[in-house]
Amino acid sequence: MKIEVDSMGLVIAKEVFRGLVLETADGNEISVCMRDDTFEINVMPGGKHTSNWWRVNMQDGTVERIAPDAEEALPPANPDSGD
């Protein structure tokens, strides 16, 4: 990942293939990953890691869901943990 600051003070992240997480003071998170020609975004309310993934279509500017929410699709990582 390469991080730069432009002339207006905006942070520019390049080559973000492992993911970049933005987190609010309340713990809500959004993870952004780059792919060859698009971006994928994971919405994580309360920092809860879900499979709530979205893909940005850079040709027409639309965003579409690519994976359902974790409760619908994935079993808990550790069933004994109570998650």
Q: What is the pLDDT of residues 11-70, one digit of tens each?
A: 999 999 988 999 999 999 999 999 888 999 999 999 888 788 999 999 999 999 996 654
What DSSP letter does each residue of 9-48 carry, written as one string?
S-EEEE---S-EEEE-TT--EEEEEE-SS-EEEEEEGGG-
Instruction: Provide the domain count of the chain.
Output: 1
pLDDT at 33: 92
pLDDT at 8: 97
pLDDT at 83 over 60: no
Q: How far apart are CA 18 and CA 14, in angstroms?
A: 11
Q: Whose CA is closest to 50, among 67, 25, 26?
A: 67
Q: Which residues form the domain of 26?
A: 2-81
**Residues listed for the chain:** 83
- Contact of 76 with 65, CB cutoff 8 Å: no
pLDDT at 52: 87
pLDDT at 82 over 60: no
Look at the block and give the residue holding tokens 């730069």. 4
